[in-house]
Amino acid sequence: MTKTDFTHFTGLSRRGFLTLAGASLALTGAGKFSITTAQAGTGFKLTVLHINDMHSRVDEISRFNTNCSPSDAEESNCFGGAARLATAIRERRAALEEAGIPSVTLDAGDQSQGTLYYTTYGGRAEVQMMNAIGFDAMTLGNHEFNRGPESLARMIDEADFPIVSGNVKVTEGAALDGRIADHLIIEREGARIGILGVTTPDTVFLSSPGDDVSFQDDIEHLTEAVAALKAQDVHKILVLSHVGYVRDLQIAAAVDGISAIIGGHSHTLMSNSVDGAVEYAALVESPSGRAVPIMQAFAFSRFLGEVELEFGDDGAVIAANGDTVLLDASFEPAADIEALIEPLRAPIEEMTRRPVAELAADIDGSRETCRAQECEMGNTVADAMVAEVAHQGIRIALANGGGLRASMGAGTASLGDVLTVLPFQNTLYTLEVTGETLVAALEHGVNGVEEGAGRFPQVAGVRFKLDLRVAPNEGRVSEVEVMGEDGWAPIDMGATYGLVTNNFMAGGGDGYAMLREGGMNGYDTAIDLAEVLARFLSDNEPFAPVIDGRILQ
């Protein structure tokens, strides 16, 4: 999604901020933005250091957000990782302390899921890194619930920092009862700062929160929570949000009294120095007419966000400046963090190094493409799924773009690379659906493109035309054809087709309720999708991906 695509969600662009109360905006050195208003300030400034969507990137990452290869490391082409993040945060906190500027360090969720560290340690390794770095608060991402509430409870118990997500409601006596804060109040230099957290209500079908956890509407909760903080004479209010950039814009426009939003979930790259990035910060006009800055720092530990906020008496941000910082080789990994990682790494290194196949070309599995259009990794995974069950006469595969978590580079692909692409341990699932159900699934899948929703359908054995000029749920999908014994043919809405997908989608995950309700003769093969992909790449090496017009736009 480009910057202009967001216009209809915002009452105010950064440049539109100039129209408010004599405000001024400028870009300063290194691309940082700077805003000021005519409103009198209190003199209190707070710097927020923030990350989001680490997704278990304990080790440094490559340009594909996967494990960094030895050759990339030798060429200083690695980024992020817990040790490098520690260095960046510690350096900034030390500089801010010397300058007498108070700070907070925040995480907007989804530390969990993405590499073998989460597979092996269930989130405890990531929390260990956060404890050593020092965080003031974290909100829950949807992936924190992937292993169920009991596993999340164990993860929270090991944290030296509070978890705040007030719209997460837990049944009394359940595993998570008492472990998630409704709000926090942090003091800095005598000033009281309220921190609220929200987790996407979509977690119900994106993850596995269980029957004892429910999610209040985020806007409804924040409206109530802001009022409650104000009743305690707390007016400087930060929202730590894991609902996505588009929803953050809507929240800022709907809920009065929020000072700023630190976001996550959508992996939005916000920067004033990276081409094609969304501007850091986005500004939205609140119901009472003040500007609410919204910040996010991409994902995978590649960037650290930093923003300095100055507040007015009513808690409004009257001045701000900042940007995201690329955590490249100029940040030396912290030795003490590396020492913590080493014993955790040892049990999984041998597994991750095992070669799987030779790749003749890169395979694009980026979020930007796989959640918006036909993509190379989507075709590859869907083809692998069909190949696995071809002996059953099944020719159609449906995969969710959000289940594809990384690209792969040309050369030798390891098991670790495959597991990074498909980290969720989802299994291959076969079922039968009518043509009507299949078309409904495709239509559902393409209706969240504007938000970068993970339900976008990657397919094999089916092709269709996609017209994004058509409104959601109004017939974006047309000219659907399926592969039969005699080649391509128009879909028959009343016919029954064999389909292979994953157990998550078959159970209604990502909103695919039509598969759960309309699917027939379902069977969970219990074969991990990562195993299926590894076998397919090995059987077809040297493998080269294809784009062959399955989704015409």
378-424 per-position pLDDT tens digit? 999 999 999 999 989 999 999 999 999 999 999 999 998 999 899 88
d(C-alpha 445, C-alpha 509), whole Å: 11
Nearest to 545 by CA among 359, 358, 366: 359
For residues 515 and 212, the answer to whether their CB atoms sit within 8 Å is no
Query: Residues of CATH 3.60.21.10 domain(s) within the chain?
Result: 18-343
Check residue 35 and give its pLDDT: 65
Cα 312 to Cα 18, 91, 228, 316: the distances in Å are 17, 28, 19, 5
Cα distance between residue 124 and residue 129, in whole Å = 9
Residues 6+ apart with CB under 8 A from 371: 401, 402, 449, 452, 453, 454, 456
171: number of Cβ within 10 Å: 14
Residue 455 to residue 512: CA distance in whole angstroms: 8
Predicted local distance difference test score (pLDDT) of residue 526: 73
Are 105 and 50 in contact by the 8 Å Cβ rule? The answer is yes
Whether CATH 3.60.21.10 fits 18-343:
yes
Please state, in angstroms and rounded to a whole number, the distance separating the CA atoms of residues 283 and 290.
Answer: 10
Taking only Cα atoms into account, the Rg of the chain, rounded to an integer number of angstroms, comes to 23
What is the spatial distance between Cα 403 and Cα 472, in angstroms, rounded to a whole number? 22
**Per-residue pLDDT at 247:** 96
Q: Are 419 and 408 in contact (CB under 8 A)?
A: no
Parts of the chain with a pLDDT under 50: 1-25, 27-30
Domain boundaries for CATH 3.90.780.10 within the chain: 354-552
How many Cα atoms are found within 13 Å in the side-chain-facing hemisphere of 490?
Answer: 5
Residue in 206, 202, 203, 211 with CA at minimum distance from that of residue 174: 211
The answer, as to whether pTM is greater than 0.75, is: yes
Q: What architecture does CATH give domain 354-552?
A: Alpha-Beta Complex (3.90)
Residue 119 is predicted with a pLDDT of: 81
